[in-house]
Amino acid sequence: MSYRKGSKVWVEEKGEGWLEAEVVDAKDRAVVVLTSQRKKISVLPEKLLPRDTDEDLGGGHVDDMTKLTYLNEPGVLYNLKRRYALNEIYTYTGSILIAVNPFMRLPHLYNEYMMEQYKGVRLGDLSPHVFAVADASYRAMVNDSRSQSILVSGESGAGKTETTKLIMRYLTYVGGRAVLDDRSVEQQVLESNPLLEAFGNAKTIRNDNSSRFGKFVEIQFDKTGRISGAAIRTYLLERSRVVQITDPERNFHCFYQLCASGKDAELYKLGHASTFHYLNQSKTYELEGTNNEDEYWKTKRAMDIVGISRSDQDAIFRTLAAILHLGNIEFSPGKESDSSKIKDSTSNFHLQMTATLLMCDPDLLVSSLCSRSIHTTEGIIIKALDCAAAVANRDTLAKTVYARLFDWLVENINKSIGQDVDSKAQIGVLDIYGFESFKHNSFEQFCINFANEKLQQHFNEHVFKMEQEEYKSEKINWSYIEFIDNQDMLDLIEKKPIGIIALLDEACMFPKSTHVTFATKMFRNLSSHPRLEKTKFSETDFSISHYAGKVTYQTDSFLEKNRDYIVAEHCNLLSSSRCPLLSGLFTSLPEESVRSSYKFSSVASRFKQQLQALMETLSTTEPHYVRCVKPNSVNRPQLFENQSVLHQLRCGGVLEAVRISLAGYPTRRTYAEFVDRFGVLVPELMLGSYDERALTESILEKMKLNNFQLGRTKVFLRAGQIAILDVRRAEVLDNAARCIQGRFRTFIARKEFMKTKEASISVQAYCRGCFARKMYTIMRETAAAIILQKHVRRLILQRNYQEACSAALLIQSCIRGFIARRYFSTIREQKAALVIQSFWRKRKVAMLFQHYKQATIAIQCAWRQKLARKELRKLRMTANEAGALREAKNKLEKKLDDLTLRLTLERRMRAAGEETKLVEISKRDKIIETLSAECAAAKSSARTEHDKNLLLQRQLDDSLEEIAMLRGNKILKAEEEKQNSNLKNIVKSLSEKNSLLENELSTARKSSDDTMEKLKDVEGKCTHLQQNLEKLQEKLTNLENENHVLRNKAFNISPKTVSEKFSASIGLPNSEHKHIFETPTSTKHLAPIPHSTGTRRQKLPVERHEGNHEILSRCIKENLGFKDGKPVAACIIYKCLLHWRAFESERTAIFDHVIEAINGVLKAKEADGRLPYWLSNTSALLCLLQKNLRSNGFFGTPSRRSAGSLGLGGRTCQLVGRGDTLAQVDARYPAILFKQQLTACVEKIFGQLRDNLKKEISPLLSVCIQAPKSTRAQAGKASKSPGVGAQQPSNSHWDNIVNFLNLLMDTLRENYVPSFFIRKLITQLFSFINIQLFNSLLLRRECCTFSNGEYVKAGLSSLEKWITDVTEEFAGTSWHELNYIRQAVGFLVIHQKRKKTLEEISQDLCPSLSIRQIYRICSMYWDDKYNTQGISEAVVSAMREMVNKDTANLVSNSFLLDDDLSIPFSTEDLSMAIPATDYADVELPECLHQHPSVQFLLKAS
């Protein structure tokens, strides 16, 4: 193929597999391309593959890879990569489903609503899903009565087990659940997975949990398509892994779990896994992220779930421990040649443990290991085995025991699940290991790849068959198409007698054969085979070219792993075991088998037989394929490794299917798509109307293409033809682009010239105007300058004169002021001097006076003090003399008594002397008195001086205190200054905070305003809720009253009535299939046993009511029509019940009769047509009951009265007059129960009518979501005309919906259905329309297109017009119910989506849609009209991150909408919305005039 500059191609690259590139230069032998990594590479044209030039315009991906323009390896790879980046993990390749593991939870893809969406839908109509494959297999089984199979393949970690679970879950959903022991079949099959993984999975080089066996789960169905049983069948267990593994692989998980089991391991004398030969051949004992001990307990729990008893569990783990001990038994040469014995004490210990655990004889065990017996006609010959043969014998025993144990586990799991042996059809799910290619490949990889070659042949046949079926359906000739087959590969491996397996078995039969002899013989016999090659650096290795690539095998261990002997001694040994489980596994061999005690069995041959059995099973079924892909090796989401995925696609056969398609007609397009893409090649034929098939043929003939065929609806092209068409289309488009560019450049140049010319004229005019204005300005400025100069000169002179005058005045005033101030200051100084002098003289004289005064006082004080001291001394001396005189006086007085007689004589002589003495004494007394007065004065002056001194001391103390206080105040002042500075800083910070608080206050005020508005809204809502609460309280009061009546009635029911009630219920016939809205069964109300004769009056109305059933039945069964919009039947029934006083009866069956009659009418065949009629009648009757019945005083008190008492026991019917001429009746319990049953009946009729409408409109909606092909073609043609907008598409399908709605409105109006019911019905119907259209839009990629959005938008506009025409009274909020589909469609048809931000999309364009729903639409959208790009990658990536974050948090994060099946009204709503019906003027129909029970109505009229 030739490439031109600008061609988009794929170029091969080692790291990424393939890279996007563009041709920048095309030479003769090489092509220079620019890769997406901005590197230029020169490659040969043969190594390039073409890439679709328009792949980015259609969303960049397709959901079915057969729709790819170029079906090649990089196209498949990058289509999967783009879809995986959008979380679109499922992709079709024809009927094959490719599932890429997302490594995260996507619950929205697997809920029950999603299963309901795929139920019964043809494969390919909706987005790819595993449910679609499961549904296709189930429908094919039911319709064709043929068993189906679903083959799930892929490497470990690709999600095979999870996919298998989802398939079984869906089959359980559509096929019903067969429950055993409270667990479904699906649950029991899945619960066996941990057990099978422990015993059948192991670590390989590539995967830590690789299945080493194939699993085929058969889900069995009965004739009606219900699940009746299941079975698990296993194939191709890798037995050789038990005894031989390579590093870094591991043995089966169960061995490592048992070694890490703690006490259980000690019980079986097990240590670390490294101590056992069967486990320590590899140094890998632990798996990252896995705890062996925890896994051990999970395995035991799985055994409990499956139903394996404790004793059998012990036997299983004993057997596993025995295998490990058996592997540690070593042998040494015996005494005889070619004999062997147990090597040492360690081996002997393991031998004893093996015998103990297997519960067999140790000597017999040794004998079976070290020797074998040969039965001949002459007797039994015992032959000793050498060490190598003994080791092989030991390994054979270990493999045999493990294989039979595994088969026993599978058998018990099947017993636990339960099989249906009579099942005629089943769906099998195959979960098997995928193709393996490692650095070192041994016998196991050879067998696994052989199995995959077999399955690939089956896969190729199926793919070719599907190709043939499509060719047949399109009626094209396909007989010459070559079928790509791999039969030569299968012949190379399994053909006898020179196939690889046959040669391997032949080599194993000879004891002396080695892998060298096997390889030599194989190369000698098969050297000419094209798929077999001999390696260059090894004589024994060989390479096979498989369908998935070349694999090199090392034959070193082929013979050892292929040998599997059936040893009679082993069977005899284990059949004699005391363990029931082991002895049951090894039954005694027949006699002919015993004779050949060492019978050879080939693992490869048995493998081939099992594989053949599996293929025979699959050949009897119709296959369906699911290829699971692991996107990366680190199990992280949103990481796609190209090389790894490419390898898996090759191994899974997907690329092989592509090659099969390439062998036929890989490119197939519908005629509309082909014409839309390549119609530009024949523009002369595109005018007017045309036949798309004829136009397609004309295009191909004009391009001179021969390798094509025209089918009924599609054109089929051979490989390479589409590239030729694309090249020619690119040339046409390039020429058209050049023409458009030339015309556009001419237009731009002329436009620029005209702009330049107009600009030059404008510039010239502007320049002339500027010059004239400039001259005018100069002249004007000159004249103005003269005037200004004149005025300026005058102003300058005037200003100078004024300045001089003011300066003179200022100087004069300043001088005068200076002189006056100087004189005034002199006078003031003189006066002040005089004052100072006078004050100084006065002060000087006063100071001198004070000085003299103080000195005088001081001298006086000193002198007086001196005199006082002197007088004081004298007084002291005088005081001393007076004491002596007193003593003398006393003595003289004493002597006087003695001398009295002597004195008598001398009295006269001494009289003068006594008088003198008396005078002296008086003088002395006076002197003493004077001295005492002076002393007192001195004392007083001393006291005065002391008081003065005290006063001075106090003043001094006060002054000291003042000084101390001043010092303290000074310190306080300094502290206050510091505090003041701190306060200033605080004030500054407070001012800053104040400014911040002011800002916050302003913000808070704004928010408070918003909050106030919200509070007003909340207050309104609270008011509404308060009203609803009051209604609910009223309703609760009524319910409490009714419950109280029920309680009292229950107390009054007698045993006899109860037994009658049960007998009546037993005698009812079996009910048929019930509708989803089921009316409660009418209850027989039984009266209590009469206690007095007063109750006879209550029986009379009941007996009369039973005779009136006939008239009520006729009113219900016959269509009595309407009078003045009032339902006649409802009014007649209410009148009769009111006249017969049925509402006041304590017990009556007439209400049950009415309900049963209505239910009978609704169950009739023609009931669907009468639903509007009965909705009108039952609602009118219910409203009459609600408005005219009331509960009496009985409901307000819990007391019970006797039957004969006044009030409740007798007749309590009271009519209370009302303003609307209707009367309220005190109702009894049967009437209240009748109202409840009638309410249920109204809800049932409404729900049944709504469901019928949904069923009728669903087929109309299914064709309205996608525009017809002709419409899209017309829209495409119209868009290509310049200057013409998009034409309105044909709305024939939408017209059908409008006609359906018009017919519905006419029917409802004819039956006078209240507008309240019409409004609710239309609203729910439009909600259903919204849900169906929106869900279909999200599930079908072909609906998420620009042209389809225009088509649906035009249809929605017709619905909007219909809603406007019927007015809001009947339509209500129907237009609002279409919010989701309106916003989604509006998003589809907006232009320049790439400029829209996520905020604009989520808040402005689609506010009602969730991010997950918007992301779904963005990932599926493509512009089929203008080929513009969708949302930008940045917005899509942001939405993807939000979706991934919310996935784990949401309980249900489905992007689909759920249908609302609730009843959108309550009894209170009916009473408030429906006006009261005046039944008084409704007359009795003539057909009922002859009936005697209604004569009262004729009399009343």
Active site residues: 156-157, 161, 207, 210-211, 434, 436
One-letter amino acid at 252 equals: F
Other CB atoms within 10 Å distance of the CB of residue 479: 6
Q: What is the rounded distance in angstroms from the CA atom of residue 958 to the CA atom of residue 308?
A: 111
Burial of residue 28, with CB atoms counted within 10 A of its CB: 0-12 exposed, 13-18 middle, 19 or more buried:
exposed
CB 1378 within 8 A of CB 1325: no
φ and ψ of 91, to 5 deg: -145, 140
Owner of token pair 């004065």:
937
Burial of residue 1250, with CB atoms counted within 10 A of its CB: 0-12 exposed, 13-18 middle, 19 or more buried:
buried
Owner of token pair 């609906």:
1343
Q: What is the rounded distance in angstroms from the CA atom of residue 827 to the CA atom of residue 821?
A: 10
CB 48 within 8 A of CB 10: yes
Which value, to the nearest 10 degrees, does the dihedral of the CA atoms of residues 990, 992, 993, 996 take?
160
Helix 654-663 / helix 73-85 crossing angle, nearest 10 deg: 130
CB 1405 within 8 A of CB 1390: yes
Q: What is the rounded distance in angstroms from the CA atom of residue 718 to the CA atom of residue 668?
A: 9
β-strand pairing of 622-629 with 96-100: parallel
Quickly count helices (H) and strands (E) in the chain. Answer: 46, 32
Beta pairing partners, 100: 629
Pull the structure tokens for residue 1079: 């009316």
Q: What is the rounded distance in angstroms from the CA atom of residue 261 to the CA atom of residue 248?
A: 23
Best CA proximity match to 435, nearest among 202, 209, 153: 153
Distance of CA 1040 to the CA centre of its chain: 43
Q: What is the rounded distance in angstroms from the CA atom of residue 21 to the CA atom of residue 39?
A: 9
Helix 1229-1264 / helix 1171-1188 crossing angle, nearest 10 deg: 150
SS (H, E, C) 796-848: HHHHHHHHHHHHHHHHHHHHHHHHHHHHHHHHHHHHHHHHHHHHHHHHHHHHH
Please give the radius of gyration of the chain, using alpha carbons only, rounded to the nearest integer. Answer: 59
CB 654 within 8 A of CB 98: yes
Other CB atoms within 10 Å distance of the CB of residue 989: 10
Owner of token pair 């306060």:
983
Pull the structure tokens for residue 1128: 């006649």
Q: What is the rounded distance in angstroms from the CA atom of residue 1065 to the CA atom of residue 1013?
A: 60
φ and ψ of 94, to 5 deg: 70, -120
Other CB atoms within 10 Å distance of the CB of residue 1298: 16
Beta strands in 236-337 (DSSP E): 331-333
Q: In the sheet that 227-235 helps form, which strands lie side by side, from edge to edge?
A: 90-93, 96-100, 622-629, 148-153, 425-432, 214-221, 227-235
Q: What is the rounded distance in angstroms from the CA atom of residue 461 to the CA atom of residue 660?
A: 10
- To 5 degrees, how large is the angle CA 449–CA 454–CA 459? 115
Best CA proximity match to 1452, nearest among 1420, 1404, 1498, 1412: 1412
One-letter amino acid at 233 equals: R
Beta pairing partners, 41: 33
Q: What is the rounded distance in angstroms from the CA atom of residue 666 to the CA atom of residue 71?
A: 7
CB 632 within 8 A of CB 639: yes
